[in-house]
Amino acid sequence: MGAQKTITTQVIQIILIILVFFITVVILYLIRDILMILFLAFILSLFIRSITDTFEIRFRMPRGLALVFGILGLLIFLFMPLMAISVPFVNQSQKLLQDLPSLMEGAQGLFNKLLVRFPSLTSLIPLEDLIGKLTANAEKILTGSFGYIASAAGSIGNFFLMIALAAFFAGNPGEYREFILQFIPSKQQKICLSTVQEIEISLKHWLVGTFLAILFVGGFMSLFYWVIDLDYFIIFGIAAGFLEIIPYIGPMLGALAPLLYALIQSPEKVIWVLIIYLFIQFIEGYFFLPFIMRKQVNLPPAISILAIIVFGKLLGFLGILIGIPMVTTIIILIERIFFRPEDLVPAQEGPDHLES
């Protein structure tokens, strides 16, 4: 009888654990937007703290004034490049919309030539059907852009909310750290502090490295496309830069549009576009990224792509952007809690120390 009660108790415990886990997953999924805003605000706060600590420690500036410079530095870093290229970007965007019908006709002509030269493509790929669908849906895509503008208004509100939260987090990180530690047993507080610092260091390097990669690729792509006199060089360059946020897949997507455009409008420039893409990827892959991201957690390509797919499915477009830092954070948590619990000594890195 006692053994039967023990088994029954264990079964009930297992059921309760599964139920609690399921409820927790459901709650996290329901509040995923809030968690994403908090996570992004935490990342931005690291950027602000780096600037704030530099002004406070190296220039002996009061903390409040240094924080103001940190927030201004973030806003300048985010908005100045956009403001500098806004006028030519808008002009090229308007010209691209005007030229869209002729581009569609050029694509149709190119596919027709391919069908004449390679008739077997008709049975393998329904190119004419694809072009017909693209042409038919072009108007729907353009008219539906107002819906995207409406949803973007909410995204802009969330963006400024993240900036505000990041400013509060960066202004007094110790206050929020102490608040969270109230809910953690005293024996585990040291490893929690050490783990948080390791996460901060890794995310800070990811943030700085990603922004530098965007500027590097976007700037040089735009410059080289301008040198070869490729139309819409700013649009293609900026798109290639921002797609650097998506590892492995992003750079290929960034090269696809200028290659297709050159193939349709200026076939003689296809080789130049391909050379520029390969050259930038070579410099970035072998010299630029290994230097600026050497302190990051290195993720295998398959894990990185899987992270993009999973978080993109769960969180939408922003999930694609933050998939890598999310997985990096999860890996550090698992490693420190389960595999390196004895390594409790926080590593100092410059002015961005733990108790700032």
CB 343 within 8 A of CB 194: yes
58 belongs to a structural domain: no
pTM greater than the 0.75 cutoff: no
CB 343 within 8 A of CB 336: yes
76 belongs to a structural domain: no
CA atoms of 158 and 171, how far apart (whole Å) = 20
**Which pLDDT does position 345 carry in this prediction?**
47
**Which pLDDT does position 85 carry in this prediction?**
58
Residues in the chain: 356
* Nearest partner of 202 among 335, 307, 106, judged by Cα: 335
116 belongs to a structural domain: no
325 belongs to a structural domain: yes
**Which pLDDT does position 246 carry in this prediction?**
80
Domain with 330, as residue range(s), is 184-350
What is the total count of domains within the chain? 2
End-to-end CA distance of the chain: 59
Q: Say which DSSP state 227 is in.
A: H
**Which pLDDT does position 353 carry in this prediction?**
42
66 belongs to a structural domain: no
For 273, the 3-state DSSP assignment is helix
**Which pLDDT does position 275 carry in this prediction?**
93
288 belongs to a structural domain: yes
* Nearest partner of 37 among 148, 157, 152, judged by Cα: 157
**Which pLDDT does position 68 carry in this prediction?**
92
**Which pLDDT does position 350 carry in this prediction?**
47
pLDDT tens series, the chain, 356 aa: 556 667 777 778 788 878 877 887 788 778 877 888 888 888 889 889 888 988 988 888 898 899 999 999 888 877 766 665 555 666 666 666 676 677 677 766 766 776 677 666 555 555 556 555 555 554 454 444 444 434 444 567 777 888 889 999 988 888 888 888 888 888 878 888 888 888 888 888 888 788 888 888 989 999 999 999 888 888 888 888 888 888 778 888 888 888 888 887 778 888 999 999 999 988 887 777 666 655 555 677 777 778 888 887 777 777 777 888 888 888 888 777 666 555 544 444 444 443 43
154 belongs to a structural domain: no
**Which pLDDT does position 352 carry in this prediction?**
44
One DSSP character per residue, 51-115 reads: HHHIIIIIS---HHHHHHHHHHHHHHHHHHHHHHHHHHHHHHHHHHHHHHHHHHHHHHHHHHHHH
* H-type alpha helices, the chain: 2-30, 32-53, 63-117, 121-124, 127-143, 145-171, 173-181, 189-227, 233-242, 249-265, 270-283, 289-292, 301-315, 317-334
**Which pLDDT does position 292 carry in this prediction?**
60
304 belongs to a structural domain: yes
The residue assigned the tokens 């897949």 is 249
